[in-house]
Structure 1
């Protein structure tokens, strides 16, 4: 049976309908930070129930790169990439103000994601992205870099923040201890990471220490010393409760799960049972627990949609044929994996391919490395387009 609405009822509905101003106010309210302080509890999943904040810096890079692109469909796809919640890299002191700027835009139902990456003597085993601080400048790292980041977070207690701590640093101390550059950096790395963990141990923060990937610390000989190396620094920081565990595959290419493993046909495969990131976590997490450190993880899926592209595990620079991988999510199907994340902003170069350029690293000249590529961190439009074309799932 159908009923007709009288004039009074229609008028009431008309009054109840939100105006454009009310709609705008509702959107603003949805974008507001929480009304009370955020507390991320150790042992919980800090990403659960939250959206991954899409930082405006990365979206801006994409918008600038596609400003003059006439292909409307391609432009729309690229814009969608900018709406994916990815990590913001704070890799110089000059970028520290971006932390406060970013946190001021994060809504209550979102979690901000920031990479802490500026140790003295950074990237001791590579040339492509070695940082601004020289070995020994630990005082500057503390006072000009970590302290201001901590101050920005303290000023935004109502915002949830995930911090990825110093990619490649502690793993380099395990596997590249024979290099003079890494020997020189060792004390600064350990002191710096410990200081970062202690200073950034704030209630609204969840920290994950970088632990390389399955093709790095996943070798049988590296699992125990790798776990002990991370745990040593964690304990030196006072075992901060806001350290939730580790980050793996950051800026990497490894599959989350793949059978057989990517390099399972190699003669030395018998010495590495961690031929995907799932198996790496399954094996590394118990070693971390034994060493006395939290063992949950986040895994970077930003560029791992296509595998079988590299000639060797250790080839890390602008790998040809890569594609955007699984979108960030806290639904991982693994009790120890808090989230799949986009750690590396796809389109920002890993390193320059010109052998005559400053900071050239031979890995960026390998046959499996994309050419031409600009200096680390600079935008590479052609590589971004390849990541987009090879994305799984598609945009």
Structure 2
């Protein structure tokens, strides 16, 4: 997955008119600040167990484990138990969200040891991720995509309303803000319709390699605050999600050579640089960070913007609220480890050149389909290891 370049944003945020430096992917701890008032009250993950995505677990158990060497099977079984976000990347997956919410409600009502929180990604904007062929979506603006998207959001809202006692963390449209102009109306609709008492929403904030550059921080803060305010400062908008489907370290001692001189070379530095800038504009942001594939640092990326099935990566820290930083609500696994970022087949209509780079593991299947060799790589390189 790629966070799109900010060409259209220059229409609304003039400071982005200058070319952006190249992008990134890295991995791994966090600081202390007061809880916010305008946004969702308190860390929604505290005192709750993140719900394991049974669909991902099934992929690991049925697709991965049978093909693995016997020495890796026990570790893979533990991966299958890890909570990871469920991606609603087509409208057909929304009913599966309803099934999961029903399961969580039943477990919570039965007196489970810890109340579970559902963790989901909304990812179906029209002309989604238009700069990355590998992850193009099912709707287009030209084919009544906005109306289709509103129906998609209405279906998600209906599921959430059926289970008002189930807490939910929802990441809204990774990669969307890079196409800010075309996506603004759809995002406003989503933030408005999903503004429910049991929901905490996190807008996607890319990662340090796109927006952590000093010249980009203030324009990025302006953008996020604008989206928040344009949606009438909805209370359920808790904050921002970083490093989604990327590889960046949370905290790294020595900045890798491929970061090109960006002082905010990990997600911790990026979060702590961005937070006061959005807070100054009334958006008291708290964060979650995807650490699912950032276990190896530095990565084998040739350039910080290389995002597709990067070689040498490993599973990262386990999902937790023990972040060491009060700005950081939780470390989470958002991108399902083992699902392809995109195909290396040059004859495919969804082929993206990034997936054919020398630092991309090949041959690779289509985006979001199971990539056994990549899963095995993540498993072998996991840090900390699964023991």
What is the rounded CA distance, in whole Å, between the counterparts of 1:123 and 1:149 in structure 2?
21
Q: Which of structure 1's runs of 4+ aligned residues deviate more than 6 A?
A: none
Partner of 1:149: 156
Q: CA RMSD in A?
A: 1.5
Paired residues of 2:171 and 2:241 also in contact (CA < 8 A): yes
Q: CA deviation at 1:292?
A: 2.5
Relative contact order: is structure 1 or structure 2 higher (C-alpha 8 Å, sep ≥ 6)?
Answer: 2
* Secondary structure at 2:184 match in 1: helix
Paired residues of 1:243 and 1:294 also in contact (CA < 8 A): no
Alignment of 1:81-230 (within 5 A): 81-106=79-104, 107-108=107-108, 109-136=115-142, 137-143=145-151, 145-170=152-177, 172-173=178-179, 186-230=180-224
What is the rounded CA distance, in whole Å, between the counterparts of 1:352 and 1:292 in structure 2?
41
What is the aligned counterpart of 1:294 among 259, 284, 288? Answer: 284
Q: CA deviation at 1:264?
A: 7.1
Question: Which is greater in Rg?
Answer: 1
Q: CA deviation at 1:295?
A: 1.1
Paired residues of 1:69 and 1:75 also in contact (CA < 8 A): no
Deviations 1:337-384 (A, max 9, x none): 000000100000000011111211111111111101101000001110
Q: CA deviation at 1:195?
A: 0.9
Q: How many equivalent pairs are there?
A: 337
Mark the CA change 1:70 to 1:358 in structure 2 (over 3 Å): closer, same or farther: closer
Q: Which stretch shifts more, 74-83 or 333-342?
A: 74-83
TM-score (norm 1): 0.82
Mark the CA change 1:263 to 1:202 in structure 2 (over 3 Å): closer, same or farther: farther
Paired residues of 1:262 and 1:276 also in contact (CA < 8 A): no
Alignment of 1:325-340 (within 5 A): 325-340=316-331
What is the rounded CA distance, in whole Å, between the counterparts of 1:275 and 1:70 in structure 2?
35
For structure 2, the residue ranges without an aligned partner over 5 or more in a row are 1-38, 109-114
What is the aligned counterpart of 2:227 among 197, 215, 233? Answer: 233
Paired residues of 1:120 and 1:134 also in contact (CA < 8 A): yes
Partner of 1:11: none
What is the aligned counterpart of 1:305 among 292, 295, 318? Answer: 295
